[in-house]
């Protein structure tokens, strides 16, 4: 017990004696944790939006107006038998008109129509957006201008273009954010390690003297590792305070107005879990960084 108290006393004494490097390590930890605390929710939001768009992708086929009920039912069963098709919805003319009216800002356009120009159609929903091309190929084996699998199918609606563009953008954003997150984590580890190394380098003579008088490696290492714990704890606590203040003053008030910010409420990683992970990571990285950096100075 006395040795543990001694190690803590030595660690605190060293932090006071080497104020500038210790402060630099704390500031580095704060900046790193704050950046990760902002980037991780953004990454999760982009991933969630990408999955949401992918789940909404479908393909729609117009039917000839003279198609009978028996032909519609038979064609529906035939399309349902295509691999990767999850569901086939029949959309009648009246339902299609109501959907169009709900999507238009100027409702008078629909009210001024003398007749319903929209056809009956099938909406084909895939199990995954990546399988849409194979489904389209199965329904039109010879291409859009060829013969479909059923004579009552007229043509394919071009209603997936916008959704596919959104999917491409969100997928690209997800890849970019993944790369940025990986680079930030790598840069953070290197920056924290170099800052801790600078702190230890200023006391290299002290370490060499302790080795020469017979101190064991772990006897020397423990105070430095405790310093790493203190630096990680202080930096992580300050960063979490900044993130918490930002959440209650900026994110929460605007979450009802900005859809991107409101995605935090449905995030797979809740805010308490996120700050707990970041806090633990800041302590672990600082502690391990102190222990690993000290190895080169213990070789005396």
3-state SS, 88-148, equals EEEECHHHHHHHHHHHCCCCHHHHCCCCCCCCCEEEEEECCHHHHHHHHHHHCCCCCCCCC
Among left, alpha and beta (phi > 0; psi -120 to 50; other), residue 194 is alpha
Determine the pLDDT at residue 262: 56
pLDDT confidence tier of residue 30, bands split at 50, 70 and 90: confident
CB 278 within 8 A of CB 236: yes
Determine the pLDDT at residue 232: 81
User: What does DSSP assign to residue 152?
Assistant: T
Determine the pLDDT at residue 60: 86
Residue 160's contacts (CB-CB under 8 Å, 6 or more residues apart) are 57, 58, 59, 132
Determine the pLDDT at residue 36: 81
In 3D space, the residue among 288, 287, 295, 269 whose CA is nearest the CA of residue 39 turns out to be 269
* Span 116-130, pLDDT tens digits: 788 889 988 888 777
pLDDT confidence tier of residue 263, bands split at 50, 70 and 90: low
Tokens 């939006």 sit at which residue? 49
Gap between the Cα atoms of 150 and 64, Å rounded: 11
Residue 139, Cβ density class (10 Å: 0-12 exposed, 13-18 middle, ≥19 buried): buried
Determine the pLDDT at residue 125: 87
Tokens 């479909």 sit at which residue? 148
Q: Which domains does the chain have, with CATH numbers?
A: 2-53+165-298 (no CATH), 58-159 (3.30.70.3040)
Question: For 97-101, 122-126, 152-156, 230-234, which range has the lowest pLDDT when averaged over its residues?
Answer: 97-101
* Span 160-170, pLDDT tens digits: 555 556 666 66
Tokens 């004579």 sit at which residue? 151
* Span 51-98, pLDDT tens digits: 666 666 788 888 988 888 899 899 999 999 999 888 899 988 888 878
Gap between the Cα atoms of 113 and 23, Å rounded: 72
Determine the pLDDT at residue 188: 65
Gap between the Cα atoms of 71 and 195, Å rounded: 74
In 3D space, the residue among 180, 281, 182, 293 whose CA is nearest the CA of residue 240 turns out to be 281
Gap between the Cα atoms of 286 and 300, Å rounded: 24
C-alpha neighbours within 13 Å on the C-beta side of residue 185: 11
Q: Mean pLDDT across the stretch 131-157?
A: 83
Determine the pLDDT at residue 175: 80
Residue 150's contacts (CB-CB under 8 Å, 6 or more residues apart) are 71, 74, 75, 78
């Amino acid at each position: 017990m006395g040795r543990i108290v001694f190690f803590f006393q030595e660690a605190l004494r060293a932090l006071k004696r080497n104020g500038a490097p210790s402060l630099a390590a704390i500031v580095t930890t704060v900046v790193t944790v704050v950046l990760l605390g902002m980037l991780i929710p953004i990454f999760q939001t982009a991933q969630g939006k990408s999955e949401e768009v992918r789940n909404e992708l479908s393909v729609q086929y117009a039917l000839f107006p003279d198609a009978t009920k028996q032909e519609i039912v038979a064609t529906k069963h035939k399309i349902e038998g295509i691999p990767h098709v999850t569901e086939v919805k029949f959309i009648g003319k009246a339902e299609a008109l109501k959907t169009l009216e709900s999507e238009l800002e100027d409702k008078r356009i629909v009210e001024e129509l003398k007749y319903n120009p929209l056809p009956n159609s099938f909406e084909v929903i895939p199990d995954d957006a990546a399988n849409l091309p194979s489904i389209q190929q199965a329904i039109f084996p010879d291409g859009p201008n060829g013969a479909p699998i059923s004579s009552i199918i007229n043509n394919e609606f071009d209603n997936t273009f916008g959704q596919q563009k959104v999917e491409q953008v969100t997928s690209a954003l997800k890849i970019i954010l993944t790369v940025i997150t990986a680079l930030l984590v790598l840069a953070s580890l290197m920056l924290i390690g170099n800052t801790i190394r600078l702190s230890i380098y200023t006391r290299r003579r002290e370490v060499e003297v302790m080795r020469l008088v017979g101190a064991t490696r772990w006897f020397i290492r423990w105070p430095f590792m405790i310093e790493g714990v203190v630096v990680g704890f202080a930096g992580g606590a300050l960063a979490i305070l900044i993130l918490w203040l930002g959440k209650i003053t900026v994110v929460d008030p605007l979450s009802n107005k900005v859809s991107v910010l409101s995605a935090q409420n449905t995030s797979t990683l809740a805010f308490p879990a996120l700050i707990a992970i970041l806090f633990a990571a800041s302590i672990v990285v600082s502690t391990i960084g102190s222990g690993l950096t000290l190895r080169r100075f213990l070789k005396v």
